[in-house]
C-alpha cells in the first residue's frame, strides 16, 4: 500500500514512518510536513534515500498543494499526525491551533473524499476527554465518554475528531480514530516534559515542575503507539474510535525524580513553578476495546522505556542540541534549498 503520513517529521510521525518501513517493506510512504518549529527534517535522515520514501514540504491548510499531492501520488491510505500539540503554546496563541488542527484536517478529509482514499486514520489525544479526579483510581477514559476539553489545544483536537466522524457519516469516508495517552521515546521535541528534564539534568540546569508535580499521566512508549496505529489502519472497523493506553500511570514529580536517579543527578535541581492554567489533574485510558478487537497490548513498561529513552538522548546529543540551538532549521535549507 502507499501511505500518506502527515506530520511525519515530528516525534510520533517519524517513529511511525521508521516502524512501517521496517515492518512492511512492501509498502511506500509519502511524508507531508510543513516543518514548523516541531518538525525536523534531520529526524528523517535515516530514510531520506530510501526508494520507498518521499518527503514533501507543504502545509496541510494549503488546499491546492494538498490536492496536487493526492492527484500525483494517489495514496491508498492517510495517517494524520500533523497538529499543533503543545498545551502551553495553545494558551499563548489559540488561533494557530484552530487553523492547523481543525481547518487543516478539513482540507485533508475533503481530499480523501474527492480522491477516493481507502482509509483515513486520525491520530488524536486522550486530552479531549478532560481529566479525572486524583482520588478515583478506578475511573478511566473509555471511547463512549463525552468530550470535555480543557485547553485550546484539546478543544481543537476534539473539534477535528468530530469533523472526521461527521465525514464518515455524511460522505461515507472510511475513517478510524485513535486517542492515545502521553507518548515518550526517541526524537521527542525538547520542550516536552521528559526530554526537557533529561536535557536540563544533563546540563545541571533547573528542572521546572508545574505546581506540586502531583498531576498524573498514563505514559506510552512511542513504538507501542505505532504498532497500535498499524493494527487499526489494517484491521480496525470503519467509523470506530480506539483508545490506546499504556497502563503506566505516573505522577510528574516521580518521573522527574526517576530521571535524576538514572542520570545520577541531585533532586535539588527540581524547581517548582507556577502551575499551568486549567491544568488537568489525571489522564488514564482503558484500552480494553483495542485489546479485545485487535489483540493489542503495550509491550514496554515505563521503567524499561524511560531507561531506553534516556540512553537515546545520551547517545544522540547532537540531534537535540541542534534543536535547542535552533540549528536544525538549517538542515532543510541545506538538503532542499537548491532543489
Choice between 4 and 140, residue whose per-residue pLDDT is larger:
4
Calculate helix-pair angle for 104-115, 152-171, nearest 10 degrees. 20
Give the mean model confidence (pLDDT) for residues 318-330.
70
Of the pLDDT bands very low, low, confident and very high (cuts 50, 70, 90), residue 54 is: very high
Using the 8-state DSSP alphabet, how is residue 127 labeled? G
Q: Give alpha helix (H) positions in 142-221.
A: 152-171, 193-202
Half-sphere exposure of 314 (CA within 13 A, CB side): 12
What does the pLDDT look like over 139-150, one tens digit per residue?
Answer: 888 999 999 988
Is 313's pLDDT higher than 80? yes
- At 327 the three-state DSSP class reads coil
What does the pLDDT look like over 243-296, one tens digit per residue?
Answer: 999 888 889 999 999 999 999 999 999 999 887 776 777 888 999 999 999 999
Cell output for 324: 535547542
Cell output for 158: 476534539
What are phi and psi for residue 30, nearest 5 degrees? -110, 125
Q: So what's the pLDDT on residue 89?
A: 75
* Residue 238 contacts residue 168 (beta carbons within 8 Å): yes
Is 133's pLDDT higher than 90? no
Distance CA 116, CA 35 (A): 27
Catalytic residue numbers read 126-127, 153
Q: Give alpha helix (H) positions in the chain.
A: 11-23, 63-73, 87-92, 94-97, 104-115, 152-171, 193-202, 222-235, 252-263, 288-294, 302-315, 317-325, 329-336
- At 164 the three-state DSSP class reads helix
Give the mean model confidence (pLDDT) for residues 295-299.
95
* Residue 79 contacts residue 233 (beta carbons within 8 Å): yes
Of the pLDDT bands very low, low, confident and very high (cuts 50, 70, 90), residue 56 is: very high
* Residue 39 contacts residue 59 (beta carbons within 8 Å): no
Q: So what's the pLDDT on residue 268?
A: 95
Q: What is the mean pLDDT of the chain?
A: 90
Amino acid at each position: 500500500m502507499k501511505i500518506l503520513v502527515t506530520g511525519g517529521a515530528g516525534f510520533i510521525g517519524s517513529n511511525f514512518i521508521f516502524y512501517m518501513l521496517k515492518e512492511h517493506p512492501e509498502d511506500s510512504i509519502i511524508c507531508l510536513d510543513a516543518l514548523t518549529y516541531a518538525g525536523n527534517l534531520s529526524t528523517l535522515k535515516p530514510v531520506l534515500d530510501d526508494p520507498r520514501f518521499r518527503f514533501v514540504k507543504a502545509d496541510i491548510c494549503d488546499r491546492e498543494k494538498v490536492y496536487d499531492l493526492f492527484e500525483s501520488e494517489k495514496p491508498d491510505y492517510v495517517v494524520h499526525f500533523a497538529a499543533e500539540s503543545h498545551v502551553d503554546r495553545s494558551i499563548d496563541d489559540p488561533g494557530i491551533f484552530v487553523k492547523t488542527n481543525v481547518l487543516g484536517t478539513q482540507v485533508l478529509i475533503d481530499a480523501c473524499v474527492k480522491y477516493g482514499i481507502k482509509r483515513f486514520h486520525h491520530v488524536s489525544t486522550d486530552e479531549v476527554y478532560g481529566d479525572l479526579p486524583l482520588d478515583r483510581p478506578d475511573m478511566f477514559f473509555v471511547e463512549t465518554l463525552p468530550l470535555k476539553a480543557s485547553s485550546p489545544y484539546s478543544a481543537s483536537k476534539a473539534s477535528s475528531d468530530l469533523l472526521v466522524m461527521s465525514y464518515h457519516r455524511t460522505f461515507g469516508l472510511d475513517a478510524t480514530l485513535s486517542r492515545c495517552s502521553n507518548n515518550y521515546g526517541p526524537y521527542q521535541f525538547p520542550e516536552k516534559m521528559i526530554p526537557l528534564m533529561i536535557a536540563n539534568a544533563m546540563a545541571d540546569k533547573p528542572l521546572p515542575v508545574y505546581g506540586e508535580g502531583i498531576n498524573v499521566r498514563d505514559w506510552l512508549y512511542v513504538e507501542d503507539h505505532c504498532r497500535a496505529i498499524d493494527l487499526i489502519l489494517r484491521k480496525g472497523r470503519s467509523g470506530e474510535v480506539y483508545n490506546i493506553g499504556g497502563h503506566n500511570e505516573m505522577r510528574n514529580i516521580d518521573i522527574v525524580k526517576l530521571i535524576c536517579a538514572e542520570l545520577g543527578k541531585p533532586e535539588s535541581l527540581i524547581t517548582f513553578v507556577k502551575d499551568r492554567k486549567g491544568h488537568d489533574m489525571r489522564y488514564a485510558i482503558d484500552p480494553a476495546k483495542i485489546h479485545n478487537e485487535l489483540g493489542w497490548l503495550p509491550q514496554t513498561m515505563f521503567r524499561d522505556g524511560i531507561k531506553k529513552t534516556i540512553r537515546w538522548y545520551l547517545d544522540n546529543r547532537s540531534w537535540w542540541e541542534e534543536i535547542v540551538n535552533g540549528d536544525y532549521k538549517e538542515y532543510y535549507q541545506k538538503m532542499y534549498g537548491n532543489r
